[in-house]
């Protein structure tokens, strides 16, 4: 995980951000009917759901048992 320059408290996984952007663009392109692949929108939504689930897993892993964030 890399930290952003402007906000040092929030780590960011750049490769995960890139996957989310590509998936969002694929959904947008599919809804605008620029490409008519039958499953493009559905597959891109699945990628977005997987990325979101991974982000939630990382956040939960950073919590300690009392519900507070741990310092790493």
- The pLDDT tens digits for 25-49 are 988 888 888 877 788 888 888 988 9
> What pLDDT shows up at residue 8?
59
Helices (H), the chain: 14-31, 40-62
Q: What is the pLDDT of residue 55?
A: 83
Q: 57 pLDDT band (50/70/90 cuts)?
A: confident
pLDDT of residue 67: 61
Q: Which pLDDT band holds residue 72 (cuts at 50, 70, 90)?
A: low
CA angle 68, 70, 72 (to 5 degrees): 165
């Amino acid at each position: 995980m890399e930290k952003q320059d402007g906000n040092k408290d929030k780590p960011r996984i750049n490769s995960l951000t890139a996957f989310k952007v590509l998936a969002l663009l694929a959904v947008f392109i599919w809804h605008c009917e620029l490409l008519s692949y039958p499953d493009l929108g559905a597959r891109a939504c699945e990628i977005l759901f997987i990325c979101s689930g991974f982000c939630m897993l990382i956040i939960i892993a950073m919590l300690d048992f009392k519900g507070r964030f741990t310092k790493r």
